[in-house]
């Protein structure tokens, strides 16, 4: 099975432009950015609760400690949120307040008492539909995560750091996520003298 496409910055902008015209634009935008800017799996985005992202003062935390129930592989992990992502989360939560700190960050429009957020499958379908609508061939709900990992590698972040940010236990898993372009190969061979 082919890996999810790593989308370009222009393609991400196109997807975000598509989202801007949607009914739940801020929610859909945040779903996409959690994947692209934090490298979160779609199951982690769906399971992300307000108590994990908000500190005691109500400020968005830099580190989100996910439990083993919220991640893949029955092992908790820490997600690090950069300043841009923290601003996005803060704006979204301000626009969509909840009295229940255990509520999901992303609320489904079909929320009821038992299921207030998205299932991983439903969120996956939502994200895949956004990419399809934007005309981005080969992009899936895993594209943001692959892009996050590839971007870090392209900026010379150490592979061990990338592995931990991705929540991988095996280095080989992290290496499979890194996409290499023909342009990168051309530049690499020019380094040889």
pLDDT tens by residue, 90-121? 999 999 998 888 999 998 876 555 557 889 99
Q: Is residue 40 part of a domain?
A: yes
pLDDT of amino acid 111? 55
Q: What is the residue range of 94's domain?
A: 9-182
Q: Is position 156 within any domain?
A: yes
Q: For residue 155, indicate whether it is catalytic.
A: no
Q: Residue 189 falls within a domain, yes or no? A: no
Residues found in the chain = 193
Q: Which of 5, 29, 41, 52 is catalytic?
A: 41
Is 72 an active-site residue?
yes
Lowest mean pLDDT segment, chosen from 24-38, 61-75, 89-103, 119-133: 61-75
Question: What is the band of 1 on the pLDDT scale with cuts at 50, 70, 90?
Answer: low
Report the domain count for the chain: 1
Residue 145 is among the residues annotated as catalytic for this protein = yes
131 is known as an active-site residue: no
Domain-embedded: residue 103: yes
Q: Per residue in 138-176, pLDDT tens? A: 999 999 999 999 999 888 899 999 999 988 888 888 888
Domain containing 21 — which CATH number?
1.10.443.10
Residue 64 lies in a domain: yes
Catalytic entry in 5, 14, 36, 145: 145
Instruction: Determine which one of 5, 14, 77, 142 is catalytic.
Output: 142
Q: Which of 76, 79, 42 is nearest to 62 (CA)?
A: 79
Residue 121 lies in a domain: yes
Average pLDDT over residues 27-40: 96
52 noted as active-site residue: no
Contact 146, 36 (CB under 8 A): no
Has this prediction a pTM greater than 0.85? Answer: yes
Q: Does residue 4 fall inside a structural domain?
A: no
Catalytic, out of 22, 72, 116, 132: 72
Exposure string for 11-50, b = 16+ CB within 10 A, e = fewer: bbebbbebbeeeebebbbbbbbbbbbbbbbbbbbbbbbbb
Please check whether residue 133 lies inside any domain of the structure: yes
Rounded to the nearest 10°, the torsion over CA 109, 118, 50, 67 is 170
- 41 given a catalytic annotation: yes
């Amino acid at each position: 099975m082919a890996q999810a496409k790593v989308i370009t910055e222009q393609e991400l902008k196109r997807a975000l432009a598509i989202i801007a015209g949607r009914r739940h634009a801020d929610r859909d935008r945040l779903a996409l950015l959690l994947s692209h800017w934090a490298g979160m799996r779609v199951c982690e985005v769906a399971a992300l609760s307000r108590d994990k992202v908000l500190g005691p003062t109500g400020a968005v935390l830099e580190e989100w400690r996910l439990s083993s129930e919220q991640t893949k592989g029955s092992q908790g992990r820490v997600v690090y949120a950069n300043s841009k992502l923290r601003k996005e989360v803060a704006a979204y939560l301000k626009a969509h307040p909840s009295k229940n700190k255990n509520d999901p960050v992303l609320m489904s429009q079909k929320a009821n008492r038992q299921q207030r957020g998205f299932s991983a499958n439903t969120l996956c379908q939502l994200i895949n539909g956004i990419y399809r609508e934007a005309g981005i061939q080969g992009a899936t709900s895993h594209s943001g995560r692959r892009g996050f990992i590839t971007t870090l590698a392209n900026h010379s972040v150490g592979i061990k750091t990338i592995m931990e940010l991705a929540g991988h236990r095996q280095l080989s898993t992290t290496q499979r996520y890194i996409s290499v372009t023909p342009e990168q190969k051309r530049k690499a061979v020019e380094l040889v003298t």
